[in-house]
Structure 1
Protein backbone atom coordinates (compact mmCIF):
# COMPACT_ATOMS: atom_id res chain seq x y z
CA UNK A 1 0.00 0.00 0.00
CA UNK A 2 2.97 2.37 0.41
CA UNK A 3 3.91 2.87 -3.27
CA UNK A 4 0.63 4.60 -4.17
CA UNK A 5 0.97 7.53 -1.73
CA UNK A 6 4.58 7.87 -2.85
CA UNK A 7 3.47 8.17 -6.48
CA UNK A 8 0.79 10.68 -5.51
CA UNK A 9 3.40 12.69 -3.59
CA UNK A 10 5.73 12.69 -6.57
CA UNK A 11 2.85 13.74 -8.82
CA UNK A 12 1.93 16.58 -6.49
CA UNK A 13 5.56 17.72 -6.38
CA UNK A 14 5.82 17.59 -10.17
CA UNK A 15 2.62 19.61 -10.45
CA UNK A 16 3.97 22.23 -8.05
CA UNK A 17 7.21 22.44 -9.98
CA UNK A 18 5.33 22.95 -13.25
CA UNK A 19 3.19 25.67 -11.66
CA UNK A 20 6.28 27.39 -10.27
CA UNK A 21 8.01 27.27 -13.65
CA UNK A 22 4.92 28.69 -15.32
CA UNK A 23 4.75 31.51 -12.79
CA UNK A 24 8.45 32.25 -13.27
CA UNK A 25 8.04 32.32 -17.05
CA UNK A 26 5.15 34.76 -16.67
CA UNK A 27 7.26 37.06 -14.50
CA UNK A 28 10.17 36.95 -16.90
CA UNK A 29 7.92 37.78 -19.82
CA UNK A 30 6.51 40.90 -18.15
CA UNK A 31 7.72 44.09 -19.84
CA UNK A 32 9.52 42.21 -22.62
CA UNK A 33 7.89 42.60 -26.06
CA UNK A 34 7.32 39.51 -28.17
CA UNK A 35 10.55 38.98 -30.08
CA UNK A 36 8.61 37.82 -33.13
CA UNK A 37 6.84 41.21 -33.23
CA UNK A 38 10.05 43.22 -33.34
CA UNK A 39 11.14 44.61 -36.71
CA UNK A 40 14.55 43.52 -38.05
CA UNK A 41 17.62 45.54 -37.10
CA UNK A 42 17.81 48.85 -38.91
CA UNK A 43 14.10 48.95 -39.74
CA UNK A 44 11.87 51.66 -38.26
CA UNK A 45 8.26 50.79 -37.41
CA UNK A 46 5.48 52.00 -35.14
CA UNK A 47 6.12 51.29 -31.46
CA UNK A 48 3.29 49.16 -30.14
CA UNK A 49 1.60 50.19 -26.88
CA UNK A 50 2.94 48.39 -23.84
CA UNK A 51 5.15 48.68 -20.81
CA UNK A 52 8.20 49.85 -22.78
CA UNK A 53 6.62 52.37 -25.15
CA UNK A 54 4.34 53.80 -22.44
CA UNK A 55 7.39 55.01 -20.48
CA UNK A 56 8.28 57.17 -23.47
CA UNK A 57 6.36 60.34 -24.19
CA UNK A 58 6.29 63.52 -26.23
CA UNK A 59 7.35 66.94 -24.97
CA UNK A 60 4.90 69.77 -25.71
CA UNK A 61 5.16 73.53 -25.62
CA UNK A 62 2.45 74.98 -23.40
CA UNK A 63 0.28 71.85 -23.41
CA UNK A 64 -1.12 69.34 -25.87
CA UNK A 65 -2.40 72.11 -28.14
CA UNK A 66 1.11 73.51 -28.51
CA UNK A 67 2.45 70.65 -30.63
CA UNK A 68 5.16 68.19 -29.64
CA UNK A 69 8.76 69.02 -30.43
CA UNK A 70 10.93 66.47 -28.55
CA UNK A 71 10.79 63.10 -26.81
CA UNK A 72 11.54 62.06 -23.22
CA UNK A 73 11.35 58.92 -21.09
CA UNK A 74 10.65 58.09 -17.46
CA UNK A 75 13.64 56.74 -15.54
CA UNK A 76 13.75 55.16 -12.12
CA UNK A 77 14.25 57.53 -9.20
CA UNK A 78 13.70 57.71 -5.45
CA UNK A 79 10.68 60.00 -5.80
CA UNK A 80 9.55 58.37 -9.07
CA UNK A 81 9.30 61.72 -10.86
CA UNK A 82 12.31 61.95 -13.20
CA UNK A 83 12.45 61.97 -17.00
CA UNK A 84 15.47 61.91 -19.33
CA UNK A 85 15.79 63.85 -22.57
CA UNK A 86 18.29 65.92 -24.54
CA UNK A 87 19.52 69.12 -22.92
CA UNK A 88 18.65 71.08 -26.06
CA UNK A 89 14.99 70.09 -25.54
CA UNK A 90 14.74 71.95 -22.23
CA UNK A 91 15.53 75.49 -23.27
CA UNK A 92 12.15 76.72 -21.98
CA UNK A 93 11.30 74.43 -19.06
CA UNK A 94 8.58 76.69 -17.64
CA UNK A 95 6.38 76.00 -20.67
CA UNK A 96 7.41 72.38 -21.33
CA UNK A 97 4.99 69.51 -20.65
CA UNK A 98 5.41 65.74 -20.87
CA UNK A 99 2.77 63.21 -21.99
CA UNK A 100 3.91 59.59 -21.46
CA UNK A 101 2.35 57.04 -23.78
CA UNK A 102 0.96 59.79 -26.02
CA UNK A 103 -0.91 58.50 -29.10
CA UNK A 104 -3.28 60.04 -31.61
CA UNK A 105 -3.91 63.18 -29.60
CA UNK A 106 -4.58 61.30 -26.35
CA UNK A 107 -2.52 61.37 -23.14
CA UNK A 108 -3.61 58.16 -21.35
CA UNK A 109 -1.37 58.83 -18.35
CA UNK A 110 -2.03 62.53 -18.08
CA UNK A 111 0.06 65.61 -18.74
CA UNK A 112 3.04 66.46 -16.54
CA UNK A 113 4.79 69.81 -16.16
CA UNK A 114 8.55 70.15 -15.83
CA UNK A 115 9.41 71.33 -12.32
CA UNK A 116 13.21 71.16 -12.33
CA UNK A 117 16.03 70.71 -14.86
CA UNK A 118 19.46 69.15 -14.35
CA UNK A 119 22.01 69.79 -17.10
CA UNK A 120 25.79 69.84 -17.15
CA UNK A 121 27.72 73.10 -16.91
CA UNK A 122 29.30 72.29 -20.25
CA UNK A 123 25.87 72.63 -21.81
CA UNK A 124 24.72 75.75 -19.98
CA UNK A 125 28.04 77.53 -20.60
CA UNK A 126 28.65 76.58 -24.21
CA UNK A 127 26.15 73.97 -25.44
CA UNK A 128 28.84 71.33 -25.65
CA UNK A 129 27.31 68.44 -27.66
CA UNK A 130 29.05 65.98 -25.34
CA UNK A 131 26.78 67.29 -22.56
CA UNK A 132 23.50 67.09 -24.48
CA UNK A 133 21.87 64.84 -21.88
CA UNK A 134 19.45 66.17 -19.29
CA UNK A 135 17.22 64.96 -16.50
CA UNK A 136 14.12 66.75 -15.25
CA UNK A 137 11.55 66.33 -12.52
CA UNK A 138 7.84 66.46 -13.39
CA UNK A 139 4.55 66.90 -11.56
CA UNK A 140 0.96 66.30 -12.70
CA UNK A 141 -1.12 69.14 -14.09
CA UNK A 142 -4.35 67.12 -14.40
CA UNK A 143 -7.04 68.14 -11.97
CA UNK A 144 -7.44 65.54 -9.26
CA UNK A 145 -4.46 63.41 -10.33
CA UNK A 146 -1.99 62.56 -7.59
CA UNK A 147 1.02 60.33 -7.21
CA UNK A 148 4.12 60.11 -9.39
CA UNK A 149 4.58 59.36 -13.07
CA UNK A 150 6.72 56.28 -12.40
CA UNK A 151 3.87 54.79 -10.38
CA UNK A 152 1.77 54.81 -13.55
CA UNK A 153 4.17 53.64 -16.26
CA UNK A 154 7.31 52.42 -14.50
CA UNK A 155 10.78 53.71 -15.30
CA UNK A 156 13.92 52.65 -17.14
CA UNK A 157 17.06 51.98 -15.13
CA UNK A 158 20.10 54.03 -16.16
CA UNK A 159 23.15 52.15 -17.43
CA UNK A 160 26.25 54.12 -18.40
CA UNK A 161 29.45 53.11 -20.23
CA UNK A 162 28.00 50.59 -22.67
CA UNK A 163 30.26 48.78 -25.18
CA UNK A 164 30.98 50.53 -28.48
CA UNK A 165 28.98 48.00 -30.50
CA UNK A 166 25.97 47.78 -28.18
CA UNK A 167 22.61 47.03 -29.79
CA UNK A 168 20.33 49.98 -29.04
CA UNK A 169 16.57 50.45 -29.32
CA UNK A 170 15.39 54.00 -29.97
CA UNK A 171 11.75 55.02 -29.36
CA UNK A 172 10.65 58.52 -30.30
CA UNK A 173 8.08 60.88 -31.78
CA UNK A 174 8.81 62.59 -35.10
CA UNK A 175 7.22 66.03 -35.04
CA UNK A 176 4.75 65.13 -37.77
CA UNK A 177 3.63 61.81 -36.24
CA UNK A 178 1.13 61.16 -33.48
CA UNK A 179 2.41 57.64 -32.79
CA UNK A 180 5.94 56.81 -31.59
CA UNK A 181 8.40 54.99 -33.83
CA UNK A 182 10.83 52.28 -32.82
CA UNK A 183 14.10 51.10 -34.33
CA UNK A 184 16.87 48.82 -33.09
CA UNK A 185 20.35 48.49 -34.51
CA UNK A 186 23.96 47.88 -33.59
CA UNK A 187 25.72 51.13 -32.75
CA UNK A 188 29.26 52.35 -33.21
CA UNK A 189 31.36 55.06 -31.62
CA UNK A 190 31.48 58.16 -33.83
CA UNK A 191 34.09 59.53 -31.41
CA UNK A 192 35.16 58.82 -27.84
CA UNK A 193 32.22 60.89 -26.63
CA UNK A 194 29.54 60.28 -29.29
CA UNK A 195 27.64 57.16 -30.37
CA UNK A 196 25.82 56.75 -33.72
CA UNK A 197 23.05 54.53 -34.99
CA UNK A 198 21.68 53.93 -38.50
CA UNK A 199 17.88 54.01 -38.41
CA UNK A 200 15.59 55.58 -41.03
CA UNK A 201 12.82 58.12 -40.41
CA UNK A 202 14.04 59.43 -37.03
CA UNK A 203 13.38 63.02 -38.05
CA UNK A 204 12.85 66.23 -36.07
CA UNK A 205 10.95 65.64 -32.83
CA UNK A 206 12.85 62.49 -31.95
CA UNK A 207 15.50 64.51 -30.10
CA UNK A 208 15.64 63.27 -26.54
CA UNK A 209 14.45 59.76 -27.47
CA UNK A 210 15.80 57.10 -25.09
CA UNK A 211 18.57 54.82 -26.32
CA UNK A 212 17.86 51.52 -24.60
CA UNK A 213 20.31 48.67 -24.10
CA UNK A 214 18.65 45.57 -22.66
CA UNK A 215 15.84 47.77 -21.35
CA UNK A 216 18.11 50.32 -19.63
CA UNK A 217 18.72 53.94 -20.64
CA UNK A 218 22.21 54.27 -22.13
CA UNK A 219 21.80 57.65 -23.86
CA UNK A 220 19.34 59.98 -25.55
CA UNK A 221 19.07 61.13 -29.14
CA UNK A 222 21.08 64.36 -29.35
CA UNK A 223 24.69 65.44 -29.13
CA UNK A 224 26.58 65.70 -32.43
CA UNK A 225 24.65 67.90 -34.90
CA UNK A 226 21.84 68.08 -32.34
CA UNK A 227 21.27 64.37 -32.88
CA UNK A 228 21.82 64.33 -36.63
CA UNK A 229 20.95 66.39 -39.70
CA UNK A 230 19.48 63.51 -41.74
CA UNK A 231 16.73 61.09 -40.57
CA UNK A 232 18.82 58.00 -41.41
CA UNK A 233 21.68 58.64 -38.96
CA UNK A 234 21.30 59.65 -35.33
CA UNK A 235 23.69 60.37 -32.48
CA UNK A 236 23.83 60.33 -28.70
CA UNK A 237 26.42 61.66 -26.33
CA UNK A 238 28.09 58.78 -24.53
CA UNK A 239 26.59 58.56 -21.06
CA UNK A 240 29.46 58.77 -18.62
CA UNK A 241 30.10 59.65 -14.99
CA UNK A 242 28.93 63.26 -15.32
CA UNK A 243 25.57 62.25 -16.79
CA UNK A 244 25.13 59.67 -14.03
CA UNK A 245 25.82 62.39 -11.46
CA UNK A 246 23.13 64.58 -13.06
CA UNK A 247 20.76 61.64 -12.83
CA UNK A 248 21.53 61.22 -9.13
CA UNK A 249 20.96 64.95 -8.53
CA UNK A 250 17.58 64.79 -10.23
CA UNK A 251 16.65 61.64 -8.31
CA UNK A 252 17.52 63.33 -5.00
CA UNK A 253 15.88 66.65 -5.89
CA UNK A 254 12.47 65.67 -4.57
Structure 2
Protein backbone atom coordinates (compact mmCIF):
# COMPACT_ATOMS: atom_id res chain seq x y z
CA UNK A 1 0.00 0.00 0.00
CA UNK A 2 1.36 3.38 -0.95
CA UNK A 3 1.49 6.31 1.50
CA UNK A 4 -0.47 9.48 0.43
CA UNK A 5 1.55 12.53 -0.45
CA UNK A 6 1.14 15.73 1.70
CA UNK A 7 -0.76 17.48 -1.10
CA UNK A 8 -3.20 14.57 -1.33
CA UNK A 9 -3.79 14.67 2.43
CA UNK A 10 -4.42 18.45 2.30
CA UNK A 11 -6.97 18.04 -0.48
CA UNK A 12 -8.68 15.27 1.49
CA UNK A 13 -8.90 17.47 4.60
CA UNK A 14 -10.34 20.37 2.59
CA UNK A 15 -12.96 18.09 1.01
CA UNK A 16 -13.91 16.69 4.41
CA UNK A 17 -14.25 20.20 5.80
CA UNK A 18 -16.56 21.21 2.97
CA UNK A 19 -18.73 18.14 3.58
CA UNK A 20 -18.94 18.89 7.31
CA UNK A 21 -19.91 22.51 6.62
CA UNK A 22 -22.59 21.39 4.17
CA UNK A 23 -23.99 18.91 6.68
CA UNK A 24 -24.05 21.59 9.38
CA UNK A 25 -25.92 23.96 7.09
CA UNK A 26 -28.47 21.26 6.23
CA UNK A 27 -28.98 20.50 9.92
CA UNK A 28 -29.59 24.19 10.61
CA UNK A 29 -32.20 24.37 7.85
CA UNK A 30 -33.94 21.25 9.09
CA UNK A 31 -34.01 22.58 12.65
CA UNK A 32 -35.77 25.74 11.43
CA UNK A 33 -38.46 23.75 9.65
CA UNK A 34 -39.16 21.27 12.41
CA UNK A 35 -41.89 22.32 14.89
CA UNK A 36 -40.69 23.12 18.37
CA UNK A 37 -42.48 20.76 20.74
CA UNK A 38 -41.94 23.22 23.56
CA UNK A 39 -43.87 25.86 21.58
CA UNK A 40 -47.11 23.88 21.92
CA UNK A 41 -48.47 24.52 25.42
CA UNK A 42 -49.70 21.59 27.52
CA UNK A 43 -53.41 20.94 27.83
CA UNK A 44 -55.11 23.33 30.20
CA UNK A 45 -52.57 26.14 29.73
CA UNK A 46 -53.72 29.45 28.25
CA UNK A 47 -51.34 31.44 26.02
CA UNK A 48 -51.60 34.23 23.46
CA UNK A 49 -52.69 32.74 20.15
CA UNK A 50 -50.36 33.02 17.21
CA UNK A 51 -51.48 34.74 14.03
CA UNK A 52 -52.39 31.68 11.96
CA UNK A 53 -55.26 30.56 9.73
CA UNK A 54 -57.42 29.40 12.64
CA UNK A 55 -56.89 32.56 14.70
CA UNK A 56 -57.68 34.75 11.68
CA UNK A 57 -61.14 33.16 11.44
CA UNK A 58 -61.83 34.27 15.01
CA UNK A 59 -62.50 37.89 15.86
CA UNK A 60 -63.79 40.32 18.43
CA UNK A 61 -67.29 41.81 18.54
CA UNK A 62 -67.33 45.58 19.05
CA UNK A 63 -70.01 48.08 19.98
CA UNK A 64 -70.36 50.49 17.03
CA UNK A 65 -66.73 50.22 15.85
CA UNK A 66 -63.17 49.61 16.93
CA UNK A 67 -63.35 52.59 19.28
CA UNK A 68 -66.36 51.13 21.07
CA UNK A 69 -64.50 48.38 22.93
CA UNK A 70 -64.81 44.66 22.28
CA UNK A 71 -67.17 42.69 24.47
CA UNK A 72 -67.51 39.20 22.92
CA UNK A 73 -65.88 36.81 20.45
CA UNK A 74 -67.18 35.18 17.26
CA UNK A 75 -65.85 32.91 14.51
CA UNK A 76 -66.48 32.49 10.79
CA UNK A 77 -68.17 29.21 9.84
CA UNK A 78 -68.66 27.66 6.43
CA UNK A 79 -71.83 28.63 4.54
CA UNK A 80 -73.22 28.68 1.02
CA UNK A 81 -72.97 32.45 0.75
CA UNK A 82 -69.70 32.58 2.73
CA UNK A 83 -71.08 35.18 5.15
CA UNK A 84 -71.89 33.48 8.50
CA UNK A 85 -70.37 33.82 11.97
CA UNK A 86 -71.10 31.86 15.15
CA UNK A 87 -71.16 33.26 18.67
CA UNK A 88 -73.12 33.06 21.92
CA UNK A 89 -76.74 34.19 21.78
CA UNK A 90 -76.18 36.54 24.71
CA UNK A 91 -73.61 38.41 22.59
CA UNK A 92 -76.28 39.47 20.07
CA UNK A 93 -78.52 41.63 22.26
CA UNK A 94 -77.75 44.68 20.10
CA UNK A 95 -77.13 43.40 16.57
CA UNK A 96 -77.76 46.74 14.87
CA UNK A 97 -74.71 48.32 16.52
CA UNK A 98 -72.44 45.27 16.67
CA UNK A 99 -69.47 44.87 14.31
CA UNK A 100 -67.12 41.93 13.87
CA UNK A 101 -63.35 42.22 13.33
CA UNK A 102 -61.77 38.87 12.34
CA UNK A 103 -58.09 38.51 13.13
CA UNK A 104 -58.19 41.62 15.35
CA UNK A 105 -54.89 42.30 17.08
CA UNK A 106 -53.28 45.31 18.74
CA UNK A 107 -55.91 47.78 17.65
CA UNK A 108 -55.90 46.72 14.01
CA UNK A 109 -58.49 44.85 11.93
CA UNK A 110 -56.44 43.34 9.06
CA UNK A 111 -59.54 41.91 7.36
CA UNK A 112 -61.76 44.90 7.95
CA UNK A 113 -64.88 45.26 10.05
CA UNK A 114 -68.19 43.61 9.27
CA UNK A 115 -71.70 44.60 10.26
CA UNK A 116 -74.48 42.13 11.05
CA UNK A 117 -77.33 41.78 8.56
CA UNK A 118 -79.31 38.98 10.21
CA UNK A 119 -79.31 36.88 13.38
CA UNK A 120 -80.40 33.30 13.99
CA UNK A 121 -81.32 32.77 17.62
CA UNK A 122 -83.43 30.04 19.23
CA UNK A 123 -86.93 31.18 20.34
CA UNK A 124 -86.34 29.73 23.80
CA UNK A 125 -83.38 32.06 24.17
CA UNK A 126 -85.27 35.07 22.88
CA UNK A 127 -88.29 34.36 25.10
CA UNK A 128 -86.62 33.06 28.24
CA UNK A 129 -82.83 33.23 27.82
CA UNK A 130 -82.55 29.45 28.12
CA UNK A 131 -78.83 28.75 28.76
CA UNK A 132 -79.13 25.51 26.81
CA UNK A 133 -79.77 27.59 23.68
CA UNK A 134 -76.94 30.11 24.12
CA UNK A 135 -75.57 29.44 20.63
CA UNK A 136 -76.38 31.73 17.72
CA UNK A 137 -75.38 32.58 14.18
CA UNK A 138 -75.38 35.80 12.18
CA UNK A 139 -74.78 36.93 8.62
CA UNK A 140 -72.36 39.76 7.93
CA UNK A 141 -71.33 42.18 5.18
CA UNK A 142 -68.39 44.61 4.99
CA UNK A 143 -69.00 47.69 7.12
CA UNK A 144 -67.53 49.83 4.34
CA UNK A 145 -70.24 48.76 1.92
CA UNK A 146 -68.05 46.51 -0.23
CA UNK A 147 -69.12 43.29 -1.90
CA UNK A 148 -66.52 41.01 -0.32
CA UNK A 149 -67.47 37.77 1.46
CA UNK A 150 -65.91 37.14 4.83
CA UNK A 151 -65.21 33.46 4.16
CA UNK A 152 -63.28 34.43 1.04
CA UNK A 153 -61.06 36.61 3.23
CA UNK A 154 -60.28 34.22 6.10
CA UNK A 155 -61.96 30.87 5.43
CA UNK A 156 -64.56 29.25 7.66
CA UNK A 157 -64.77 26.43 10.19
CA UNK A 158 -67.07 23.48 9.50
CA UNK A 159 -69.72 22.81 12.15
CA UNK A 160 -69.67 19.45 13.96
CA UNK A 161 -72.32 18.10 16.32
CA UNK A 162 -72.60 14.80 18.27
CA UNK A 163 -69.16 15.04 19.88
CA UNK A 164 -67.91 12.51 22.49
CA UNK A 165 -68.44 13.48 26.12
CA UNK A 166 -64.71 14.06 26.72
CA UNK A 167 -63.71 15.51 23.35
CA UNK A 168 -60.60 17.68 23.38
CA UNK A 169 -61.22 21.17 22.04
CA UNK A 170 -59.22 24.32 21.41
CA UNK A 171 -60.78 27.58 22.59
CA UNK A 172 -59.79 30.87 20.91
CA UNK A 173 -61.13 34.09 22.39
CA UNK A 174 -60.63 37.73 23.27
CA UNK A 175 -60.85 38.87 26.90
CA UNK A 176 -62.15 42.44 26.95
CA UNK A 177 -58.92 43.63 28.57
CA UNK A 178 -56.64 42.11 25.89
CA UNK A 179 -55.81 43.23 22.36
CA UNK A 180 -54.93 39.76 21.07
CA UNK A 181 -56.72 36.40 21.26
CA UNK A 182 -55.91 33.73 23.80
CA UNK A 183 -55.69 30.01 23.08
CA UNK A 184 -56.26 27.04 25.37
CA UNK A 185 -56.83 23.37 24.58
CA UNK A 186 -58.13 20.75 26.99
CA UNK A 187 -60.42 17.77 27.27
CA UNK A 188 -64.03 18.64 28.01
CA UNK A 189 -66.53 16.87 30.20
CA UNK A 190 -70.31 16.90 30.37
CA UNK A 191 -71.49 19.18 33.18
CA UNK A 192 -75.01 18.04 32.31
CA UNK A 193 -76.67 16.46 29.31
CA UNK A 194 -77.00 19.91 27.76
CA UNK A 195 -73.84 21.68 28.96
CA UNK A 196 -70.17 20.98 28.35
CA UNK A 197 -67.33 22.13 30.66
CA UNK A 198 -63.64 22.91 30.13
CA UNK A 199 -60.87 23.88 32.57
CA UNK A 200 -58.77 26.70 31.08
CA UNK A 201 -57.44 29.72 33.02
CA UNK A 202 -57.81 33.40 32.10
CA UNK A 203 -60.89 33.07 29.87
CA UNK A 204 -62.49 36.12 31.40
CA UNK A 205 -65.19 38.56 30.25
CA UNK A 206 -65.11 39.09 26.50
CA UNK A 207 -64.43 35.46 25.65
CA UNK A 208 -68.15 34.68 25.47
CA UNK A 209 -68.86 33.35 22.00
CA UNK A 210 -65.36 31.92 21.57
CA UNK A 211 -65.35 28.86 19.30
CA UNK A 212 -64.67 25.43 20.77
CA UNK A 213 -62.83 23.62 17.98
CA UNK A 214 -62.67 19.83 17.80
CA UNK A 215 -60.25 18.74 15.07
CA UNK A 216 -60.73 22.10 13.41
CA UNK A 217 -64.54 22.06 13.46
CA UNK A 218 -66.90 24.17 15.57
CA UNK A 219 -68.23 21.95 18.36
CA UNK A 220 -69.61 24.71 20.61
CA UNK A 221 -69.14 28.30 21.74
CA UNK A 222 -68.26 29.68 25.14
CA UNK A 223 -71.55 30.51 26.82
CA UNK A 224 -74.49 28.65 28.31
CA UNK A 225 -74.39 27.91 32.02
CA UNK A 226 -73.61 31.08 34.01
CA UNK A 227 -73.21 32.91 30.66
CA UNK A 228 -70.12 30.79 30.09
CA UNK A 229 -68.83 30.57 33.65
CA UNK A 230 -68.62 32.67 36.80
CA UNK A 231 -64.81 32.33 37.14
CA UNK A 232 -62.10 32.61 34.44
CA UNK A 233 -60.73 29.12 35.20
CA UNK A 234 -63.86 27.15 34.24
CA UNK A 235 -65.92 27.72 31.10
CA UNK A 236 -69.03 26.19 29.59
CA UNK A 237 -70.72 25.68 26.25
CA UNK A 238 -74.21 24.54 25.50
CA UNK A 239 -74.11 21.19 23.72
CA UNK A 240 -74.55 21.62 19.97
CA UNK A 241 -77.90 19.89 19.58
CA UNK A 242 -80.70 19.77 17.03
CA UNK A 243 -81.82 23.34 17.68
CA UNK A 244 -78.34 24.78 17.14
CA UNK A 245 -77.91 22.68 14.02
CA UNK A 246 -81.21 23.96 12.64
CA UNK A 247 -80.16 27.57 13.30
CA UNK A 248 -76.88 26.94 11.53
CA UNK A 249 -78.66 25.45 8.53
CA UNK A 250 -81.02 28.43 8.33
CA UNK A 251 -78.09 30.82 8.35
CA UNK A 252 -75.75 28.80 6.14
CA UNK A 253 -77.92 27.46 3.34
CA UNK A 254 -78.45 29.95 0.57
CA UNK A 255 -82.06 30.69 -0.28
CA UNK A 256 -81.11 31.41 -3.83
Same-fold call, TM cutoff 0.5? yes
Tell me which residue corresponds to 2:172. Answer: 171
Count of matched residue pairs: 221
2:77 matched to 1:79?
A: no
Give the distance between the partners of 1:126 and 1:34, measured in 2 at CA.
48
Give the distance between the partners of 1:115 and 1:99, measured in 2 at CA.
15
Give the distance between the partners of 2:47 and 2:220, measured in 1 at CA.
20
SS at match of 1:52: helix
Q: What are the Cα deviations for residues 148-201 of structure 1, in whole angstroms up to 9, with x where unaligned?
A: 000010000000110000001000000000000000000000000000000000
Report the TM-score when normalising by structure 1.
0.85
Equivalent of residue 106 in structure 1, options 101, 105, 108? 108
SS at match of 2:231: coil
Give the distance between the partners of 2:36 and 2:153, measured in 1 at CA.
22
For the pair shown, the structure with the greater C-alpha radius of gyration is: 2
Give the distance between the partners of 1:38 and 1:113, measured in 2 at CA.
34
Q: What are the Cα deviations for residues 12-55 of structure 1, in whole angstroms up to 9, with x where unaligned?
A: xxxxxxxxxxxxxxxxxxxxx97653211000000000100000
Following superposition, the deviation at residue 253 of structure 1 comes to 5.5
Give the distance between the partners of 1:182 and 1:118, measured in 2 at CA.
27
Map residues 12-23 of structure 1 onto 2, 5 A cutoff. none
Give the distance between the partners of 1:168 and 1:109, measured in 2 at CA.
25
Q: What are the Cα deviations for residues 47-95 of structure 1, in whole angstroms up to 9, with x where unaligned?
A: 0001000000000000111000000000000000000000000000000
Map residues 164-243 of structure 1 onto 2, 5 A cutoff. 164-243=165-244
Name stretches of at least 5 consecutive residues in structure 2 with no aligned partner. 1-34
Tell me which residue corresponds to 1:91. Answer: 93
2:58 matched to 1:51?
A: no
Closer, same or farther: CA 158–36 of 1 in aligned 2, 3 Å = farther
Tell me which residue corresponds to 1:18. Answer: none
Name stretches of at least 5 consecutive residues in structure 1 with no aligned partner. 1-32
Tell me which residue corresponds to 2:161. Answer: 160
Report the TM-score when normalising by structure 2.
0.84
**Counterpart contact for 2:80–2:254, Cα < 8 Å:** no
CA RMSD of superposed structures (Å): 1.3
Give the distance between the partners of 1:151 and 1:98, measured in 2 at CA.
15
Give the distance between the partners of 2:65 and 2:201, measured in 1 at CA.
28
Give the distance between the partners of 1:146 and 1:119, measured in 2 at CA.
25
